[in-house]
């Protein structure tokens, strides 16, 4: 059972669990797979259940096993690993979640760092948050062995050897127009300069600006897929990306299922090789939200063969 982009929506999350529990009890499904972007509600703080939903997924993994409940990394979880900010227009997503973490910070961020990027199946279908990434297709192999901790440690070592950090903070102030200390509090909930995380905002900035490996990761999770490309160009990009992910996969990967971007009616066939599903936030209208039942062992030969597996989230879990 594949679900996408719940974005802190507790009602949608609870309905997902109702459907999964009912189908699992009847042996109709064995796994529940979240394709990332579990967090960051688009509405007010009182409607945002992001943290409690993450903690519930962690609890479900502990109870049922991480092979039964699987969560993939999404582009909204990614910035929290690196201390980066995420905004869309005037809406800033990351500060609210950072300030809510409190005593859960270490466990949740460790959980995020351990999230897989893709699930590759014997059906020849790759599941991922954003889908084929034309920008990252040629470097997709680097995603198979990506190491967040290595990038973070490398940046920490670089900052540890800087003689004049205060000078860099002043430059950061000039660049952003706000003192570094204020930004560290706003975006990372760092309350004083003695906090071990005080440098993490600067660390994330250095990684995002200087590390080419990180740029491949960023491109893969923030890709706009077909936007800006002709249909034939995107078909070729899908093929290249799936070919790169086929190395060491249980079968050749020919199709991709993702969330990440809005759809009308709960799903969209983006290309002959890419199906986009919207379970909650990105479904237009939201009442059209859908999840996908996928037989991961049965090879498929055309993207349309996935469509019978779509189910309405707002239907009865029968």
Domain assignment present for residue 218? The answer is: yes
112 occurs within a structural domain? yes
Q: With respect to residue 34, please indicate whether it lies within any of the assigned structural domains.
A: yes
Flag whether 301 is in a domain. yes
Q: Is residue 294 domain-resident?
A: yes
- Which parts of the chain are beta strand (E)? 2-3, 32-34, 69-71, 87-88, 91-92, 118-120, 125-128, 255-258, 263-264, 267-271, 274-277, 283-284, 290-292, 310-312
* Full residue range of the structural domain in which residue 305 is found: 2-147+214-312
Q: Does any domain span residue 184?
A: no
Q: How far is CA 126 from CA 66, 244, 265, in A?
A: 18, 11, 22
Q: What is the pLDDT of residue 145?
A: 86
Residue 108's pLDDT band (cuts 50, 70, 90): very high
Q: Give the HSE-up count for residue 57: Cα atoms under 13 Å, Cβ half-sphere.
A: 31
**What is the predicted pLDDT for the residue at 139?**
82
pLDDT confidence of 258, banded at 50, 70, 90? very high
pTM over 0.85: yes
- What is the CATH number for 77? 3.60.21.10
Contact 14, 317 (CB under 8 A): no
Between CA 293 and CA 299, with CA 297 as vertex, the angle to 5 degrees is 95
Q: What pLDDT sits at residue 90?
A: 85
Residue 241 is assigned to a structural domain of this protein: yes
Is pLDDT at 236 greater than 90 in this prediction? yes
The listed range with the strongest mean pLDDT (191-195, 246-250, 272-276) is: 272-276
Mean pLDDT over 59-76 rounds to 97
pLDDT of residue 64: 97
Residues 207-226 have a mean pLDDT of 93
Over residues 121-142, the mean pLDDT reads: 90
> pLDDT value at position 318?
64
Q: What is the pLDDT of residue 83?
A: 96
Round the average pLDDT of the chain to a whole number and report it.
95
Q: How confident is the model at residue 141 (pLDDT cuts 50, 70, 90)?
A: confident
Number of domains in the chain: 1
**81 Cβ contact list (under 8 Å, min separation 6):** 109, 112, 113, 148, 152
pLDDT score for 130: 97
The pLDDT of 45-50, averaged and rounded, is: 96
Q: In 29-119, where does DSSP find H-type helix?
A: 50-64, 78-82, 94-101, 105-113
């Amino acid at each position: 059972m594949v679900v996408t982009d719940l974005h802190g929506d507790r009602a949608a999350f609870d309905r997902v669990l109702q459907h999964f529990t009912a189908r699992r009890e009847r042996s109709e499904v064995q796994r529940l797979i979240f394709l990332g972007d579990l967090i960051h509600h688009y509405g007010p703080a009182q409607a945002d259940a992001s943290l409690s939903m993450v903690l519930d997924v962690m609890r479900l993994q502990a109870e049922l096993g991480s092979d039964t409940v699987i969560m993939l990394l999404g582009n909204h979880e990614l910035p929290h690993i690196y201390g980066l900010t995420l905004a869309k227009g005037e809406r800033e997503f990351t500060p609210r979640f950072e300030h809510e973490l409190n005593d859960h910070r270490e466990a949740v961020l460790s959980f995020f760092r351990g999230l897989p990027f893709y699930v590759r199946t014997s059906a020849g279908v790759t599941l991922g948050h954003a889908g084929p990434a034309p920008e990252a297709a040629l470097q997709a192999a680097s995603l198979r062995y990506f190491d967040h901790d290595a990038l973070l440690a490398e940046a920490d070592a670089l900052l540890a050897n800087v003689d004049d950090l205060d000078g860099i903070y002043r430059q950061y102030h000039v660049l952003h127009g706000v003192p570094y200390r204020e930004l560290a509090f706003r975006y990372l909930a760092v309350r004083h300069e003695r906090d071990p995380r005080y440098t993490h905002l600067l660390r994330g900035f250095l990684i995002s600006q200087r590390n080419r490996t990180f740029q491949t990761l960023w491109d893969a999770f923030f890709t706009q897929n077909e936007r800006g490309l002709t249909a034939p160009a995107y078909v070729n990009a899908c093929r290249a990306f799936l070919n790169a992910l086929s190395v060491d996969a249980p079968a050749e990967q020919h199709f991709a299922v993702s969330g990440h971007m809005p759809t009308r009616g709960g799903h969209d066939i983006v290309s002959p090789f890419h199906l986009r599903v919207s379970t909650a936030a990105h479904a237009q209208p939201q009442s059209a939200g859908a999840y996908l039942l996928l037989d991961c062992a049965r090879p498929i030969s055309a993207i349309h063969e996935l469509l019978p597996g779509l189910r309405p989230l707002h239907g009865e879990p029968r």
